[in-house]
Amino acid sequence: MAENTLTYLDYKSNQNVRWCPGCGDHAILNAVQKTMADLGYDPKDVAIISGIGCSSRFPYYMNTYGFHTIHGRASAIASGVKLANPDLHVWQITGDGDALAIGGNHFIHAIRRNVDINIILFNNQIYGLTKGQFSPTSKKGFVSKTSPFGTIESPFRPGELSIGARGHFFARSIDKEIKLSIDIFKEAALHHGTSVVEVLQNCVIYNDRTHEAITDKAHKDDRTIILKHGEPMIFGKNQDKGLLLKCLDLRVVTIGENGITKDDLLVHDAHCEDSTMHLKLANMEYPNYPVALGVIRAVKSPTFDSEVVNQIKQVQQKSKLKSFRDLAFSGDVWEVK
């Protein structure tokens, strides 16, 4: 196998990046480009599909194939691209508004079908491109241009929605945590089936510091937990906190208190078929719990695209029709003179 000589620069296009200075999208773009280089993907073997929103400018900035589609339809088009050319590495770039509002139906059915695409969901809890309306993930009570007295809606949890749609891969990262994002994107890329990676992203103009409670450098270690398959669920600046299960509820505990040791803590099993624990982990929210980062669920399952290809092959083998001529002259045929 030839040595990989690609770098992230091979995935940069010649277009000027037009996101606002300080936008979290810049870091995610950087992480994706470095992921592609680490995986050694030939740029011509990659397709970036997006819908509408700030994040959906992404294809312009990648030196790969790309398609900036229409609002909420990226999942449908990404599915079609993968079915038409199964050898392509298809990445869907979308936002919390694009994927979970107008695109919600396409999003959940792509997950349910388990099409082999990678979905990166930018979650800044706001409509940024259209200038600051509340989105499906905005916190209840959030004041915006379309909710001047505070929204009365309960927000979607992307992890809960993905797992509830029978998803087999869900992970979460933070825009500024580039190394963590790269590690997650690699696992998502190598997973066969629909992978959903929620990236908690900051909009400096319309919803600045929306994730600050868990991304602030002084507190993030105590308010987030990075899950790793096969390892105990430990977190905290001093690595002295952990999670255990009691009466079917997750409990945050301190190692050393009440006789609790590292051996008492839950061990993360991302590959477990049963999604009960994955759902509990995905739904953890500060201040009651640390927010789970890393790969929360990664379960093997047949993919929609591979099943379609296999079905076509089986039908072709059994069919007596081997050419268009066979089809044209099958059934009732008559000759016109």
Report pLDDT digits (tens) over 110-165.
Answer: 999 999 999 999 999 999 999 999 999 999 999 999 999 999 999 999 999 999 99
Listed range (55-64, 174-183, 317-326) with the worst mean pLDDT = 317-326
Q: Is the pLDDT of residue 270 over 50?
A: yes
Phi, psi of 187 (to 5 degrees): -65, -35
Locate the domains of the chain by residue range.
8-210
For position 1, what pLDDT does the model report?
41
Q: Output phi, psi for 133, to 5 deg.
A: -90, 155
Query: Has residue 288 got a pLDDT over 90?
Result: yes
Average pLDDT of the segment spanning 8-12: 97
Sheet holding 46-50, edge to edge: 65-68, 46-50, 89-95, 118-123, 195-200, 169-174, 291-298, 224-227
Task: Report pLDDT digits (tens) over 205-227.
Answer: 999 999 999 999 999 999 999 99
CA–CA gap between residue 175 and residue 126 (Å, rounded)? 15
The pTM of this model reads: 0.94
Q: Could you tell me which of 221, 232, 226 has the C-alpha nearest to residue 179?
A: 226
pLDDT score at 307: 95
Return d(Cα 147, Cα 169) in angstroms, integer. 33
175: burial class by Cβ within 10 Å (0-12, 13-18, 19+)?
Answer: buried
In contact, 203 and 218? CB cutoff 8 Å = no
Say how far apart CA 71 and CA 105 lie, in whole Å.
Answer: 12
Cis previous bond, 287, omega within 30: yes
- The CATH H-level superfamily of 8-210 is Thiamin diphosphate (ThDP)-binding fold, Pyr/PP domains (3.40.50.970)
Tokens 């993968």 — which residue? 82
> Quick one: pLDDT at residue 4?
76
Residue 99 DSSP symbol: I
